Amino acid sequence: MNQKAEAGTNHKLQQTLLEYQAILENAPVGILVSRDLKVVSCTPRFSEIFGWSHRELVGQPAEVLYPDRADYEALGREAIPVLGRGDLLDIEWTMRHKDGRALRCHMRARAINPQNTAVGTIWIIEDVTQRHRDREQLQELLQRQQAILENALVGILFTREGRIVQCNPRMEDIMGWPKGMLEGQSEGVFFESDDDYAAFRAMVGQGLGAGELLDVEWLNTRHDGSKVWCRHLAKALPTRDGSRSTIWIVQDIKAQKDAQAALQQAHQELEERVEERTLELAFMNNELQNEIVERAEVERHLRAQEARFRDLSELSSDWFWEMDASLRFTEMSGGLYNTRLDPRRTIGKQRWELPIVGVSAEQWAEHRALLQARQPFRNFVFQMQTEPGQLRWFCVSGKPVFEDGVFTGYRGIGSDITNHRHAEQKIEFLAYHDPLTGLPNRVLLQDRLNQAIAQAERSRTGVALVFMDLDNFKNVNDSLGHAAGDALLGEVARRLRACVRDSDTISRQGGDEFVLILRELHGGESSLPVLTKVMEALQEPYLYEGNELSTSASIGIALYPEDGSDFEALSKKADMAMYRAKEAGRNTHRFFDEAMDQEAVEHLVMRSGLRRALEREEFTLHYQPQLEIASGRVIGVEALLRWRHPEFGLVAPGRFIPVAEESGLIVPIGAWVIQEACRQAAAWRQSGLAGLMMAVNLSAAQFRREGIEETVTRALSDSGLPAQWLELELTESILIQDAEKVLASVRRLKQLGVKLSIDDFGTGYSSLSYLKRFDIDKLKIDRSFIRDLASDPDDAAIVRAVIQMSHSLGLRTIAEGVETPEMVRQLQAFGCDEAQGFHYARPMTADELERYLAGLRSPAP
Residue 369 burial (CB count, 10 A): 11
DSSP-derived 3-state class of residue 549: strand
CB 445 within 8 A of CB 556: no
Say how far apart CA 648 and CA 644 lie, in whole Å.
Answer: 8
Phi and psi dihedrals of 184, rounded to 5? 95, -15
Chain segment 416-460, per-residue pLDDT in tens: 888 878 777 776 666 678 888 889 988 888 999 999 999 999 999
Q: What is the pLDDT of residues 220-240, one digit of tens each?
A: 999 999 999 999 999 888 887
pTM tops 0.75: no
Q: What is the pLDDT of residue 313?
A: 47
Residue 643 C-alpha from the chain's centroid: 33
pLDDT tens-digit readout, 704-718: 777 889 999 999 999
**pLDDT score for 776:** 85
Q: To which H or E segment does residue 816 belong?
A: none
Q: Say if residues 629 and 827 touch (Cβ distance below 8 Å).
A: yes
pLDDT for 288 equals 57
Say what the pLDDT of residue 292 is.
58
Q: For a pLDDT cut of 90, what percent of the chain falls above it?
A: 34
Q: Which of 231, 258, 234, 245 is nearest to 174 (CA)?
A: 231
Rounded CA separation 58/769 (Å): 73
Q: Say how far apart CA 17 and CA 5 lie, in whole Å.
A: 18
662/445 Cα distance (integer angstroms):
29
Gap between the Cα atoms of 536 and 514, Å rounded: 16
d(CA 421, CA 429): 12
Answer yes or no: is pLDDT of 769 > 60: no
Report d(CA 155, CA 742) in Å as an integer.
58
* pLDDT at residue 845, as a whole number: 94
- Please determine, for residue 552, whether its predicted confidence score (pLDDT) is greater than 70: yes
The DSSP line for 232-258 is EEEEEE--TT---EEEEEEEE-HHHHH
With cut-offs at 50, 70 and 90, classify the pLDDT of residue 766. Answer: very low
- Residue 750 pLDDT greater than 50, yes or no: yes
Question: Cis omega (within 30 of 0) on the bond before 561?
Answer: yes
pLDDT at 312 over 50: no
User: What is the largest distance, in Å, between two alpha-carbon atoms of the chain?
Assistant: 154
pLDDT in tens, 563-584: 898 999 899 889 888 888 887 7
Average pLDDT over residues 279-298: 61
CB 464 within 8 A of CB 557: yes
Per-residue pLDDT tens for 818-848? 999 999 999 999 999 999 999 999 999 999 9
Alpha-carbon dihedral sign for residues 81, 84, 87, 92:
positive
| pLDDT for the residue numbered 861 | 43
Per-residue confidence band for 376, with pLDDT thresholds at 50, 70 and 90: very high
Q: How confident is the model at residue 770 (pLDDT cuts 50, 70, 90)?
A: low
Q: What is the pLDDT of residue 700?
A: 76
The rounded mean pLDDT for the chain is 84
